Amino acid sequence: MNPFFTTLRRPMAALACAMAIALPAQAVYAATLDAVQLDKSKIGFTFKQMGVAMDGHFAKFTAALSFDPAKPEQAKATIEVDLSSVDAGSGEADQEVVGKSWFNTAAFPKAVFQSKQVKQTAPNQYEVLGTLSIKGRSRDIKSAVKLSPQGKSSVLSGSFTMQRADFAIGEGMWSKFDVVANDIQVNFQLTAFNAATGK
């Protein structure tokens, strides 16, 4: 056999082995993320009260997701947050914020986010445009989202800033921003996986 081809075959064989080892990981990464592990996901928020940074989170929410990293433009996501599950730092604050002046959960129990467009901006980074609906009002919001593969699952994390006045969160004496600022930053972290391959 020609020594040239013998020499050439060795690096080609090594490359083939490397590709064979890498393929399973790539296959998992490329699988469509269509289920969310809620116990490993979280939705929180931060705001300023009298100039002091405060934070909270929601204990209950659901998420429907269909996201193929190879086809981000086809992605779809719907998140529904149970507003009565808010933890604003104290029992008194929790009771206040679910009342009529704030979330008014008796009439509007859920906040809903529905994606409209997803585009990739960099490796493992995306821009998501969607509609956020709270208290019967809807606004389009954009969020930068990072994808972090972790074995068979992946974490989708990001944040966006909303104005509470856009959704009538804080009416009457609370409509001014001298006590509670208008800007609310929402932070989320969703652990997602492919239902067919498991968590």
Model pLDDT for residues 109-152, shown as the tens digit of each residue? 999 999 999 999 999 999 999 999 999 999 999 999 999 999 88
**Is residue 199 one of the residues assigned to a domain?**
no
Nearest-angstrom CA–CA distance, 159 and 190: 12
Q: Which of 53, 57, 50, 55 is nearest to 174 (CA)?
A: 50
* Cα 112–Cα 115–Cα 119 angle in degrees, nearest 5: 155
Nearest-angstrom CA–CA distance, 199 and 195: 7
**Is residue 83 one of the residues assigned to a domain?**
yes
**Is residue 149 one of the residues assigned to a domain?**
yes
Model pLDDT for residues 1-54, shown as the tens digit of each residue? 444 334 434 544 444 444 444 433 333 445 899 999 999 999 999 999 999 999
Shared domain check, 102 and 62:
yes
pTM of whole model > 0.85? no
Q: Which of 137, 122, 128, 135 is nearest to 65 (CA)?
A: 128
Shared domain check, 76 and 37:
yes
The upper half-sphere exposure of residue 66, i.e. CA atoms within 13 Å in the direction of its Cβ, equals 7
The parent domain of residue 21 ranges over 1-30
* Cα 84–Cα 157–Cα 38 angle in degrees, nearest 5: 45
Q: In the structure encoding, which two tokens stand for residue 197, read together?
A: 């391959």
Shared domain check, 148 and 81:
yes
**Is residue 160 one of the residues assigned to a domain?**
yes
